[in-house]
Amino acid sequence: IELINSYAKFKDNLIKELQSAEKYIIFEVVYVNSKDFDRIKSILISKASANVNVKFVYDSIISPKLKRELKKGGVKVYRFSKHNTIGKVYSNKRNFVVIDGRVAFMCNLNVRSRELSGKFDIADTIIKFKGDVVQELDIAAHQDVISASGKYLDYKAPPKEAFANECNIQYI
């Protein structure tokens, strides 16, 4: 586990890890409102065109233009928020990225210009996970994609032996 308290360092770490993705990326945010997301967006699209399975799950706000660009680039885009028949909203305020089930980031990942530009570097703690603990986030991320898409995924949880050094985390 690595604690990162700078969005500039987080952005550098995230870009490096996204570029190394070989199998899949699940990028889960509450909202995106940033011109500075262009670099990350281009990596997601590039990876999707290179047959990396890229899923982008958002909870509330994404520009129609960004949604079109991601979809056109081969990224699977899902909105998590759902309304049921009695008017309740099912929402998900998780903010994390899981890459190939080997590395994950968890933080206040709402993508805003002020953080990604480096002009406003808040002291929010970003956590970078590697190792066994990533499995917990990986399972949660895949469950969120199933919930948001309404489709069962070809996802097989790791065998029980993979949890020999089990590390449970609580995410909220």
CB 103 within 8 A of CB 128: yes
Q: Give the mean model confidence (pLDDT) for residues 76-84.
A: 73
pTM (two decimals): 0.76
Residue 54, burial from CB neighbour count under 10 angstroms (0-12, 13-18, 19+): buried
Average pLDDT of the chain?
Answer: 76
Closest CA to 116 of 2, 50, 34, 15: 34
Residues 6+ apart with CB under 8 A from 90: 80, 81, 82, 83, 84
| β-pairing verdict for 103-106 and 126-130 | antiparallel
> Quick one: which H or E segment has residue 29?
strand 24-33
Q: Maximum CA pair distance of the chain?
A: 46
Q: Give the mean model confidence (pLDDT) for residues 58-87.
A: 79
Instruction: Using the predicted structure, report yes or no on whether residue 157 has a pLDDT greater than 70.
Output: no
